[in-house]
Amino acid sequence: MKILMVIDSLEKGGKERRMLELIKGLTRTEDHFDIFLLILSDKIDFKQIYELPIQVEVLKRKFKKDPTITFSLKKVISRFKPDVIHSWSTMSSVYLSISNLFSGIPLINASLADAPLHLNIFDKHYLRVKLTTPFTDLFISNSKAGLKSYRTPKKKSVCVYNGVDGERFKNLRPVGDIRSEILGARSGEAFVIAMVATFNDRKDYETLINTAVRMCSYNPSLTFLLVGSGPTLLQLKAKIADEYLKKKQIIFTGKIDDVESVLQIIDVGVLMSKSVNHREGVSNAIIEMMASGKPVIASRGGGTDEVLVDDFNGYLIDSQSEKQLEEKINHLFANRRRLFELGENARQYIMDNFELGKKTSEYIKLYHFLAKQSRV
> Looking at residues 318-343, what average pLDDT do you find?
97
First to last CA, the chain: 17
The pLDDT > 70 percentage for the chain reads: 99
Would you state the torsion angle of the CA atoms of residues 247, 250, 253, 258, taken in this order, to the nearest 10 degrees? 100
> Looking at residues 172-183, what average pLDDT do you find?
93
341: pLDDT confidence band, cut at 50, 70 and 90? very high
Q: Going by C-beta distance under 8 Å and a sequence separation of 6 or more, which residues neighbour residue 72?
A: 59
Q: Which of 49-63, 69-83, 136-150, 275-289 has the lowest average pLDDT?
A: 275-289
Tally of residues, the chain: 376
Question: Cα(270)–Cα(227) distance, rounded to whole angstroms?
Answer: 11
Domain ranges for the chain, please list them: 2-163+355-375, 166-353
Question: Cα(76)–Cα(302) distance, rounded to whole angstroms?
Answer: 36
Burial class (CB within 10 angstroms; exposed 0-12, middle 13-18, buried 19+) of 213: middle
Contact yes or no for 268/293 (Cβ under 8 A)? no
- Domain 166-353, what fold? Rossmann fold (3.40.50)
> Looking at residues 72-76, what average pLDDT do you find?
96
Output the pLDDT for position 242: 92
Contact yes or no for 78/104 (Cβ under 8 A)? no
> Looking at residues 171-182, what average pLDDT do you find?
93
| Model confidence at 277: pLDDT above 90 | no
Question: Cα(61)–Cα(42) distance, rounded to whole angstroms?
Answer: 9
> Looking at residues 147-154, what average pLDDT do you find?
96
> Looking at residues 162-191, what average pLDDT do you find?
90
Q: Going by C-beta distance under 8 Å and a sequence separation of 6 or more, which residues neighbour residue 19?
A: 5, 7, 88, 110
Strands of the sheet containing 55-58, edge to edge, are 55-58, 34-39, 2-7, 84-87, 107-112, 138-141, 157-159
Question: Cα(339)–Cα(345) distance, rounded to whole angstroms?
Answer: 10
pTM for the structure as a whole: 0.91
Contact yes or no for 291/316 (Cβ under 8 A)? no
Query: In whole angstroms, what separates CA 242 from the centre of its chain?
Result: 32
User: What's the mean per-residue pLDDT of the chain?
Assistant: 94
Output the pLDDT for position 272: 96
Output the pLDDT for position 275: 77
> Looking at residues 90-114, what average pLDDT do you find?
95
Instruction: Give φ, ψ of 137 to 5 degrees.
Output: -85, -30
| Beta pairing partners, 141 | 112, 159
Q: What share of the chain is helix, strand, coil (3-state, %, to 5)?
A: 45, 20, 35
Best CA proximity match to 307, nearest among 173, 176, 159:
159
375: pLDDT confidence band, cut at 50, 70 and 90? low
Q: Going by C-beta distance under 8 Å and a sequence separation of 6 or more, which residues neighbour residue 264?
A: 172, 175, 178, 292
| Model confidence at 188: pLDDT above 80 | no
Q: Is 227 helix (H, G, I), strand (E, B) or coil?
A: strand
Q: Going by C-beta distance under 8 Å and a sequence separation of 6 or more, which residues neighbour residue 311?
A: none
CA-CA distances (angstroms) from residue 96 to 37, 108, 114, 268? 14, 10, 21, 42
pLDDT digits (tens, 9 = 90+) for 192-244: 999 999 999 989 999 999 999 999 999 999 999 999 999 999 999 998 999 99
| Model confidence at 12: pLDDT above 90 | no
Domains 2-163+355-375 and 166-353 share a fold: yes
Contact yes or no for 221/249 (Cβ under 8 A)? no
CATH number of 2-163+355-375: 3.40.50.2000
Question: Cα(350)–Cα(249) distance, rounded to whole angstroms?
Answer: 30
Residue 78: CB atoms within 10 A of its CB come to: 10
Output the pLDDT for position 217: 94
